Amino acid sequence: MDREKMLMIVTGVIIGGLAVLLVAMGNPGNMGYCIACFLRDTAGGLGFHRAAIVQYVRPELIGLVLGAFIAAVSSREFKSRGGSSTFVRFLLGIFMMLGALIFLGCPLRDILRIGGGDLNAVVGLAGLIVGILWGIFFLKRGFNLGAARAEETTQAGGYLFILGVIGLLVLLISGFSFNPAGGGPLFFSTTGPGSQHAPLWIALGAGLLVGVLSQKARLCLTGGFRDFFLIGNKGMLIAYAAILITVVTLNLYLGKFNLGFANQPIAHTNHIFNFLGLFLVGQCGVLLGGCPLRQIILGSEGDMDAAATVMGMLAGAAIAHNFMLAATTKGTTSISQIALITGIVIVSIIGWAYREVDA
């Protein structure tokens, strides 16, 4: 077996194994990893939104960034670069988060949800794949947000994202509060999903390991499908299969596999909006050149446009919760449905507007 296939399998098995472990150690059901949920919790932990049940600076995210950073520096792949339609990427980050918070998970959690027997996530996967195909429609017509430029005289810009994340870690470990009388930040949920978490050091370690592996494997939960449809490359689909098989096996062993649509952890059963939620994530993931996880990894390699996308996702989480757009386990509201469809239309207009006719 070649090295690349082996790396994909090892990455998939370790991510799947750690995802089940993190749930066993305290994370919400089928949420060993969820980049969208964790960014939403982190936005809450910083006080950017007021949904009291989803406030916690997730150490897994901090670990992901630091792990990917260490891997990139050690393989000399850290390079400060940016300037490719940064504000458009920020906006696409907002919409990618909106889609994820209407489905209730990023593409990585979608696989973990399927691995727990949640059939709503199969509907979501179908939406993700169709959304990716819709994104490819624009790519094939020359969609391009423009070239990023490497910073020639300094690497400072790339380090800013890393420093910000280290700052978060210091706040989290020290327990420092800016406003002791009013509480926070950081804010910590006392009930709900934000209060359910694995111990800090285990979550941080699990993040670090997955950060290293994801950087090495170039793991992207939209890129695998995109490359399969675009050029017939099946390489990354192996990692998806490895995650799924590992999670199904471990959940069956632990008695946590619960096949069906109803009563799934942090999920709802509105099929249309489960489909459309991940459709929007797939569409944004293709236009941005990567899923939420990949944006975190790229940001950790010095890609300032990806870092801006992550900031867009953080802002998107705040908007989604402050404006009551995020779905709950009860389902979606009419305002969230309108917002999602508006999002698909706006992202499609961006896809059309940024095509290079002569490309």
Partner 1 sequence: MDTLDVKGLSCPIPVIRTKKMLDKGCQELQVTGTGNVARENVSKFASSQGFIVKLVNDSPDEWNIIISK
The residues that touch partner 1, with contacts defined as CB under 8 A, are: 75-77, 79, 81, 84, 139-140, 144-145, 147-150, 152, 218, 220, 223, 226-227, 230-233, 288-290, 359
Contact 7, 216 (CB under 8 A): yes
Distance set, CA 131 to CA 29, 46, 113, 136, 302 (Å): 26, 31, 19, 9, 28
* Residue-wise burial string across 183-204, b where 16 or more C-beta atoms lie within 10 A, e elsewhere: eebbbbbeeebbbbbbeeebbb
With H, G, I as helix, E, B as strand and everything else as coil, classify residue 355: strand
- Strand (E) or helix (H) holding 136: helix 120-140
> Which residue is associated with the tokens 């994820």?
100
Of the candidates 96, 107, 122, the residue with the CA atom closest to the CA atom of residue 271: 122
In this structure, how many other beta carbons lie within 10 angstroms of the beta carbon of residue 356? 10
Q: Which residues contact 180 (CB under 8 A, 6 or more apart)?
A: none
Q: What is the DSSP letter of 327?
A: -
Q: Is the Cβ–Cβ distance between 280 and 42 less than 8 Å?
A: no
- From the list 264, 193, 176, the residue with the least C-alpha distance to 51 is 193
99 φ, ψ (degrees, to nearest 5): -60, -45
Residue 284: beta bridge partners?
none
Q: Which two tokens stand for residue 267?
A: 């999920």
